[in-house]
Chain A
């Protein structure tokens, strides 16, 4: 117990030291907000907020710097280095970072589901059980899809090769999966949208739908994290960020067509890729956008993460997830506790 207190004290001391040394001028009130996200559909609220200028409109008087990252690994490294204040990231890297003592906190959800297992055309994979002896790609080891894949394999009675099983898990950037499929390097891939829909458009087949990946699709695939010190020093700013975030989610859920245009143009600016509207539509349909965070799913995640051997202990969930700011914004209007929103707002027609 004393050891733990000492450790957390040390972490607090250190992080404050790091914080003051890194941004001595902005310790009180920040003049710049640095936001990180990925150019994926599970991060669509950030794409919409950027395209529509929601961040700038809500966070007046501060400079907004946005950076896009290719994976949770690089984003969490940026957090560790003190180069980001707010980030959209998969729960896997967020949990790992928190378990290692990084001063981050989950303050809102972004998206649920939004990832599908795609089998290469001609791979003969029809169900998860057929993955025996195959090579399956995930964006990176220890990321959200890797953890989901390990849960899928366990359910199907299979094991990864590194644990003495027959399934080889290959870390591969989603952008490279199409080429790997063509040269038959990998047989299947568990990838976030829009990559899954893109691969499907190239006549590869989805194994199950987004609901069969894990927990009936009711699991967070991206969450909003803040640097705890930043949040404590700038509560109003974080609140403004959340307002913009909620505004973007509302647009995604209420005006899919308008949101789609926004997402498309933001993606084009970031990746120089023009997505086929039908692909984008299908990808968005498989992703649920909600600012709420299912804490039970986060806890289950942490356990899966431990089962996979990526972590040895769970983080302190009480300090990791703090939705009080979010509640202060959402509760008065909706009157119903947002945590159990009865009908998840799914974009598009089912």
Chain B
């Protein structure tokens, strides 16, 4: 993996940043306008930016019984998704590779995985709870399933898309089976695999929040549930914002990695 600093990603970054900040200001102003000024909806349906900010501050440095737990909730959710994602990537990588190498597996398991991918993660929760219990493992199970499928399909597809000539070349140069996989196929498939990793991340993150919401383990999903149960729409919106921001940050991170790899492979203009 290349280790160039983030600044090496060259884009007209400054302008993008300005536009993004401007967009944010416009959104918050509109939000403030419809809630605090025009009062189109009552606050228990659509709270104002101020109410939501208050929930943030309670979560960060409040002293009430349920306060000050924002960071620890974010922490438990991230810990869970990190572990689940790593397992999903490892498992998906191995299964995907096996599927690409062995046709019968590809045509059976591969087809099933395609079908399973269309099942929303929430659908796995009741089974996970009965099978593993109302605990962390049930949540992890759902996260791993959701992350595993896109990785397996991406790895399998990416390896299959390596031009046959490259295999022949690898063989001609004396690579054995193991060498062919590690020195030719996987490196060649890397750009598409990374795209799969990005899909897997967003699937895993969404699955995590959904599963936490239903099992009420400490975490962001639980904050959503408490907000809903106590008619605290501001807490619900604050949590949605955190979930969205974390999801976007990680997506950006993987996308940066992805575009760097694609550039290294000559698939994207470096500028």
Q: Does the CB pair B230–A96 fall under 8 Å?
A: yes
Residue of A76, A96, A171, A172 with highest tally of chain B CB at under 10 A: A171
* A163 CA / B134 CA spacing, docked (Å): 19
B228 at the A interface (CB under 8 A): yes
The residue on A at minimum CB distance from B133 is A185
Interface residues on A, range: 35 or more
Contact among B41, B66, B133, B222 with A309 in the assembled complex (CB-CB below 8 Å)? B66
B218 at the A interface (CB under 8 A): yes
* A163 CA / B63 CA spacing, docked (Å): 12
Contact among A10, A73, A179, A311 with B130 in the assembled complex (CB-CB below 8 Å)? A179
Q: Does the CB pair B43–A309 fall under 8 Å?
A: no
A334 at the B interface (CB under 8 A): no
Contacts of B232 in A (CB 8 A): 96, 100
* A80 CA / B222 CA spacing, docked (Å): 21
- Give the distance to chain A from B222, nearest Cβ to Cβ, in Å: 8
Within 8 A of A (CB), among B204-256: 216, 218, 222, 225-226, 228-233
By DSSP majority rule, is chain B's interface helix, strand, loop, or mixed? loop
Given contacts A100-B44, A185-B134, contact A171 B225 (CB under 8 A): yes
For A152-173 the 0/1 string (1 means CB < 8 A from B) is 0000000001110000001110
For A81-102 the 0/1 string (1 means CB < 8 A from B) is 1000000000001001101111
* A307 CA / B69 CA spacing, docked (Å): 16
* A14 CA / B67 CA spacing, docked (Å): 29
* A72 CA / B134 CA spacing, docked (Å): 22
Given contacts A100-B232, A143-B229, A183-B133, contact A11 B42 (CB under 8 A): yes
B45 at the A interface (CB under 8 A): yes
Contact among A76, A100, A163 with B43 in the assembled complex (CB-CB below 8 Å)? A100
Within 8 A of B (CB), among A217-233: none
- Give the distance to chain B from A166, nearest Cβ to Cβ, in Å: 14
Interface residues on B, range: 20 to 34
* A309 CA / B232 CA spacing, docked (Å): 12
B266 at the A interface (CB under 8 A): no
Q: Does the CB pair B42–A14 fall under 8 Å?
A: yes
Q: Does the CB pair A141–B225 fall under 8 Å?
A: yes
Contacts of A163 in B (CB 8 A): 65
- Give the distance to chain B from A71, nearest Cβ to Cβ, in Å: 8
Q: Does the CB pair A142–B39 fall under 8 Å?
A: no
A215 at the B interface (CB under 8 A): no
* A77 CA / B228 CA spacing, docked (Å): 9
* A183 CA / B130 CA spacing, docked (Å): 8
Residue of B39, B44, B218, B222 with highest tally of chain A CB at under 10 A: B44
A297 at the B interface (CB under 8 A): no
- Give the distance to chain B from A333, nearest Cβ to Cβ, in Å: 36
- Give the distance to chain B from A16, nearest Cβ to Cβ, in Å: 10
Q: Does the CB pair B66–A73 fall under 8 Å?
A: no
Contact among A76, A161, A162, A185 with B231 in the assembled complex (CB-CB below 8 Å)? A76
For A240-282 the 0/1 string (1 means CB < 8 A from B) is 0000000000000000000000000000000000000000000
Q: Does the CB pair A14–B231 fall under 8 Å?
A: no
A310 at the B interface (CB under 8 A): yes
The residue on B at minimum CB distance from A139 is B229
The residue on B at minimum CB distance from A7 is B43
A308 at the B interface (CB under 8 A): yes
Q: Does the CB pair B44–A142 fall under 8 Å?
A: no
* A252 CA / B222 CA spacing, docked (Å): 39
- Give the distance to chain B from A15, nearest Cβ to Cβ, in Å: 6
Within 8 A of B (CB), among A17-52: 17-18
A180 at the B interface (CB under 8 A): yes
Q: Does the CB pair A309–B44 fall under 8 Å?
A: no
A140-B229, A180-B134 known; 6 other A-B pairs, CB under 8 Å?
A: A17-B39, A18-B42, A72-B229, A96-B232, A140-B225, A312-B64
Give B contacts to A, CB under 8 Å.
Answer: 39, 41-45, 58, 64-67, 69, 129-130, 133-134, 216, 218, 222, 225-226, 228-233
Give A contacts to B, CB under 8 Å.
Answer: 10-11, 13-15, 17-18, 72-73, 76-77, 80-81, 93, 96-97, 99-102, 135, 140-143, 161-163, 170-172, 179-180, 183, 185-186, 307-312
